[in-house]
A and B are shown apart, each in its own frame.
Chain A
Amino acid sequence: MTRWLSLAVLACALASGPAWAVNDPADQLPDAAQEERARAIGRELRCMVCQNQSIEDSDADLARDLRRIVREQVAAGKTDAAVTDFVHTRYGDFVLLRPPFKLETALLWGTPVLALAGGMLLIRGMRRRRVAEAPAELSPDESARLARLAGGRDP
């Protein structure tokens, strides 16, 4: 029951979609396919003023300017990569919400893998220890005591 409920909630959340900052129809491209492309590009670009929002989500002036530039260039027939590159050369790696993989960002991208590997090693170590902690065999003394307690019968 709860599983179905949570699935339903998840479905609603996914279907409703996020609210965009581009509410001004004048800022949107008339061509729906182009507007969709412009949004996809903008969602990957950081608003440098608010920093943790994409330019599509931000109401900042600079974000609006960048949204307009993205749309102009999409309408002018530039490829997605060329539009992203235009902003990237001006604002650097930090503007990309998905930073490129290079030496400086290796640790950033590698942390999940390192954490997973570390966790697996930890689990393996714990398992091994549990096996090693299995009760030891009885010493001759203990066997003799047990035999006595058992009343002379063979244990």
Chain B
Amino acid sequence: MSDDKRGSAANPWRRRSLLLAPVAVAGVAGAGFYAMLRGMGTGDYDPRGVPSALLGKPAPEFTLPPLEGAERPGVTGADLRGTRPVLLNFFASWCVPCVIEHPQLMTLMRDGVAVLGIAYKDKPEDSLGFLRRHGNPFARLGVDQPGRVAIDYGLYGVPETYLIDPGGIIRWRWAGPVTPEILTQQIVPLLRRTA
């Protein structure tokens, strides 16, 4: 019988804690959402930032023809391996964020970094016009009109940039424009580490 008494004495407290449960759940969920929103603001959290399936794997082989009139050779898988890390950049003239990232690619080129370009699903004359207007940062430049090489790289869209180490292994992928922050906080340290 004394068991019963203890049970009924514990009951009001239990009931009250049950009432508080939804409040606690809402509180935890709210804190989580707030952290996500803050992360999206500062760039620490990207809901689309699924890591590439190719990280740590050899860069897929391909051969792409040069862009006529750009005075740069085309790109093959062999061009990605060598004595220094390279950046492989997918771009298109119809892509607005590509305009945003272009100055950063020009900076990299001026600093002597090997930036290789792939024009993705773009008319050759449009790609050419884009590079004439904004400058050509690419040491080599391939044309991928059907977008098949892009799919071999698991591309989501343009712009997208890959860092490939001298052994031909993909070390980093950025889906989106290379901002000045991405350049200084991610690319520059990575280039130093993989050189």
Residues of A within 8 A of B (CB): 48-49, 51, 61-62, 65-66, 69, 88-94, 129, 132-133, 136-137
Contact = CB atoms under 8 A, between A and B. Distances in A.
A92 B121 contact: no
B151 A66 contact: yes
A90 B149 CA distance: 11
Contacts of A49: 156-157
Nearest to B51: A92
Contacts of B152: 90
A136 B4 contact: yes
Given A49-B156, A62-B157, A90-B154, A129 B7 contact: yes
A93 B51 CA distance: 10
Q: How large is the interface on B (under 10, 10 to 19, 20 to 34, 35 or more residues)?
A: 20 to 34
Given A61-B121, A92-B154, 18 more contacts: A51-B48, A61-B147, A62-B147, A62-B155, A62-B157, A66-B151, A69-B151, A88-B53, A89-B53, A91-B53, A92-B50, A92-B51, A92-B53, A94-B50, A129-B7, A132-B4, A133-B4, A137-B1
Contacts, number: 44
Given A61-B121, A65-B147, A91 B154 contact: yes
B3 A90 contact: no
B4 A92 contact: no
B8 interface: yes
A66 B54 CA distance: 18
Contacts of B54: 90
Majority secondary structure of chain B interface residues (helix, strand, loop or mixed):
loop
29 contacts: A48-B156, A49-B156, A51-B48, A62-B155, A62-B157, A65-B146, A65-B147, A65-B148, A65-B151, A66-B151, A69-B151, A88-B53, A89-B53, A90-B53, A90-B54, A90-B151, A90-B152, A90-B153, A91-B53, A91-B154, A92-B154, A93-B53, A94-B50, A129-B7, A132-B4, A133-B7, A136-B1, A136-B4, A137-B1
B93 to A, nearest CB: 15
Contacts of A90: 53-54, 151-154
B52 interface: yes
A61 B52 CA distance: 20
Interface string B143-178: 000111001111111000000000000000000000
Contacts of B53: 88-93
Nearest to B54: A90
B156 A62 contact: yes
A31 to B, nearest CB: 23
